[in-house]
Amino acid sequence: MSVVTIATTPFNDQRPGTSGLRKKVAVFQQAHYLENFVQSTFDSLDNIQGQTLVVGGDGRFYNEQAIQIILKMAAANGFSHAIVGQNGLLSTPAASCVIRKYKAFGGIILSASHNPAGPNGDFGIKYNINNGGPAPEAITEAIFKNSQSITEYRIVDESDVNLAIIGRQQLANMSIDIIDPVGDYAELMADLFDFESIKTLVSSQSFQMRFDAMHAITGPYAKTILEDLLGAPTGTVINGIPLTDFGGGHPDPNLTYAEQLVAEMFSSNPPVFGAASDGDGDRNMILGANFFVTPSDSLAILAANAHLVPAYQSGLSGIARSMPTSQAPDRVAQKLGIDCHETPTGWKFFGNLLDANKATLCGEESFGTGSNHIREKDGLWAVLFWLNILAKRQLSVAQIVELHWQEYGRNYYTRHDYEAISSDIAKQLMSDLEAQLPSLVGQQLAGRTVAYADNFSYKDPVDNSVSSNQGLRIGFDDGARIVVRLSGTGTEGATLRVYIERYENDKSKLDQDTQKALKPLIDLINELAQITERTGRTEPTVIT
């Protein structure tokens, strides 16, 4: 085996965020940049000799080139086996599934999730541990620490692997299995859901659905599962061919960026059910005919109807939601007599709860939902969950949501994103707003009394680790909330995210327009944080 040791020097910008390291493609293409991060990752892990590594990505530009580098470095660092999706493809949930099924040591997933792709777009890399979930903070901090002192990396001087052919190959002393990226995941979905009931639903003349893969990774998964296995008509999946630039689109499944799907679902003759997923397949948007389901409501409704799904018929051990997600799931948990855990944003915080059986379902307001079947959020899983519910209840999406509100009340909820603003302006805005918080408690604002105002801190109930500075919160005596935080998923400037929520249980007031229902609170946070004055933005980039 011809291992080559390459001298290198640190880059100062390799601290992983909530979902790994994300930068522009050109940054990753710098000499030694990717290699430094991969070696820093391997150096942060114990006992990798003779272990199995799963590798795959969402197919964006630079995916296959990066995989060749990673495989050669894995072989040089002592891994004896690698599992790779054909053509370098593995959705993030499928990668988690494969890690768990084959009891791999861990996996490297190449994705920048919902961020745009192409030569001028974004790229990302993250390490997932043996439970299939994102590396915890102890590992990501170790990776960053190593990246700041690295002096060399190891790589084998061998020819590239043929990623197109399914089967076993050899790279130096490491065997590599190229696998069908869809097969293991599809098998897992068939074990979780009532495929026979869903087949009957999607093949009926009265039921039409549309799934928008946004030219991203879920195209092959959706075609195989929805059209081939479940019998949905050909053409149910649109934009189903993964492209290295995602067709020039922004593969973020929301009302702004899933423009084609939204136009069809809000047309005069819409399908009964619509859904979309994102760049790496871990997010979902659920739509009915002329009806949008907020991700917070979706999590609550999945929990309330989990008894209809084979995998969850025995009950839920708990629910977990990120702090900015609405409190709608809390009300379901209360009725079920189970805990609802509130965590920081970032799927890695759910891992301990799932492993300890303190939660079965979990979700984030940023269109991510999942369960204990893997350790990542899972877009297509959420779509199948909804189809299972629709098949059993024989009601429309709107009817299911509205009946839920009648039973539990409605958490009016919105998120306002201000994308690509100056990082300096964003940081100063947050700092100045946080300085105001202590003085707000007890004040009458927007017709409510401020009950608390703080910077959210989380103590993990499993390992007692503490994560501080997770978002600014202003909470009111009637349960209404405003949350402000900076997103860690962008690569250009900063994204300021503002979350506004209030609860309504008057059954005659459950059909108001969300933005109008929340306008006093929207106006309040704009005034307190001086968003327009500081950013120059008169409206958000995205409203969900």
Cβ atoms of 496 and 422 closer than 8 Å: no
Paired strand residues for 285: 276
Does residue 299 share a domain with residue 162? Answer: no
* Selected catalytic residue, list 113, 147, 326, 366: 113
Does residue 212 share a domain with residue 166? Answer: no
State the Cα–Cα distance between residues 205 and 211, nearest whole angstrom.
Answer: 17
Start-to-end Cα distance in the chain: 53
Q: What are 149-192's pLDDT values in tens digits?
A: 999 999 999 999 999 999 999 999 999 999 999 999 999 999 99
Does residue 490 share a domain with residue 501? Answer: yes
Does residue 198 share a domain with residue 166? Answer: no
Residue after which a domain boundary falls, among 150, 180, 210 = 180
Residue after which a domain boundary falls, among 137, 158, 180 = 180
Does residue 112 share a domain with residue 77? Answer: yes
Catalytic (active site) residue 96: no
Which residue bears the tokens 């009637």?
Answer: 478
Burial code (b: 16+ CB inside 10 Å, e: under 16) for 354-366 equals beeebbbbbbbbb
State the Cα–Cα distance between residues 451 and 479, nearest whole angstrom.
Answer: 9
Cβ atoms of 104 and 179 closer than 8 Å: no
- Is residue 18 pLDDT above 80, yes or no? no
Contacts of 429 (CB under 8 A, 6+ apart): 496, 529, 530, 531, 534, 535
pLDDT for residue 348: 83
Q: What are 124-153's pLDDT values in tens digits?
A: 999 999 999 999 888 999 999 999 999 999
Does residue 221 share a domain with residue 111? Answer: no
Domain range for 36 is: 3-180
Does residue 167 share a domain with residue 102? Answer: yes
Burial code (b: 16+ CB inside 10 Å, e: under 16) for 482-521 equals bbbbbbebbbeebbbbbbbbbbbeeeeeeeeebeebbeeb
What is the DSSP code string of 437-484?
HHHHTT-EETTEEEEEEEE--EE-TTT--EE----EEEEETTS-EEEE
Contacts of 464 (CB under 8 A, 6+ apart): none
- Is residue 491 pLDDT above 70, yes or no? no
Residue after which a domain boundary falls, among 346, 374, 408 = 408
Of residues 434, 408, 272, 417, the one with CA closest to residue 340: 408
Q: Which domain CATH number covers 129?
A: 3.40.120.10
Backbone phi and psi for residue 196, each to the nearest 5 degrees, phi listed first: -65, -45
CA–chain centroid gap for 301, Å, is 19
Does residue 417 share a domain with residue 403? Answer: no
Query: What pTM did the predictor assign?
Result: 0.93
Cβ atoms of 495 and 418 closer than 8 Å: yes
Of residues 436, 397, 178, the one with CA closest to residue 305: 397
Mean predicted confidence (pLDDT) in 351-361: 95
Question: Structurally, how many domains does the chain consist of?
Answer: 3
Q: What are 249-259's pLDDT values in tens digits?
A: 999 999 989 99
